[in-house]
Amino acid sequence: MENQKKLSDNSLTIEKKKARKRVVIRSLLLIALLLVVNTFAWFTYISRAGVTLNGSVIDWDISFLNENGAVKDIQIDITDMKPGMIPFEYKIQIQNNSDVAANIKYDIKSVKLLGTELLQEGQEDQIEESLKTEYPFVLELITEKDDIGINEMINFKTTLNWDYQASNYYKLNNLYTYDAGVYYYTIIDDTYQVDNTVTEENFKEKVASGLYLEKDDADSFFGYACGKYEEETKSPCLQMKLDLNVTQAN
């Protein structure tokens, strides 16, 4: 009987040791799991803090969130274009709600005037200057600055002004059509001189070689052309598509 009792005590001791061992192992596994979770959470935070920040257009406002997402296309339609029109302004408020500063960049994706695409491949850098200088109206893209701080708001504007001032000359492009009632000019010795040889037959050839109109005549052409185009197509005279991109500041 004593031998049996001793054997039972030994078995009980062994079981207790095994139980303590299981508790220790479980505790170690739990600690390891917590370390893995905390480490993953830390690297997830670092990863999210380093991604590109993008915004989504909501009506007239863009909020830049601390998340990765594509910017929706911005389409600007300008109608009722004519000399002396009320200045057009399309304003977007850019609010940086993230926890890092950001850089702002915009890209012109498309510009259609009278239904014709003006943006040609390889000329993305020139199109903005062209819209400011080559037409009797002036279209500008204005960003208050190129970066935006945390919890800061800035404005991005598209404006179009078409006034009567200044007697400039405008170089013709393929949007123009021949009009026998106006004077066309060429540049000779750095001065604009009337070209009386322009006819309906050679008009396109003359345009390709460099032909100009005075401001009043350019005003009349585009004012009439825009009104006619909108009446016939029910589409805006000028349409522009933009992308606004915001990236984390270095």
Identify the pLDDT of residue 58.
30
Q: Scanning the structure block, which residue is given the tokens 């106006």?
A: 182
Identify the pLDDT of residue 123.
81
Distance CA(114)–CA(103), nearest Å, equals: 34
- Regions of the chain where pLDDT drops below 50: 1-7, 36-62, 64-71
Identify the pLDDT of residue 179.
96
Identify the pLDDT of residue 154.
86
Identify the pLDDT of residue 118.
96
Identify the pLDDT of residue 47.
29
Identify the pLDDT of residue 69.
39
In one-letter notation, the amino acid at residue 156 is: F
Strand arrangement of the beta sheet that strand 138-143 belongs to: 55-58, 61-64, 88-96, 153-161, 138-143
Q: How many CB atoms lie within 10 A of CB 73?
A: 12
Identify the pLDDT of residue 164.
81
Identify the pLDDT of residue 247.
78
Identify the pLDDT of residue 48.
31
Distance CA(182)–CA(211), nearest Å, equals: 12
In one-letter notation, the amino acid at residue 234 is: K
Residue 108 near residue 128 (C-beta atoms within 8 A): yes
Residue 88 near residue 78 (C-beta atoms within 8 A): yes
Can you point out the beta strands (E) in 79-214? 88-96, 102-113, 116-117, 138-143, 147-148, 153-161, 169-171, 185-188, 191-194, 212-214
Residue boundaries of the structural domains of the chain: 50-250
Integer CA distances (angstroms), 9 to 4, 20, 22, 23, in order: 9, 17, 20, 21
Can you point out the beta strands (E) in 4-137? 55-58, 61-64, 74-78, 88-96, 102-113, 116-117
Phi, psi of 34 (to 5 degrees): -65, -40
Distance CA(129)–CA(211), nearest Å, equals: 19
Q: Scanning the structure block, which residue is given the tokens 């504007």?
A: 157
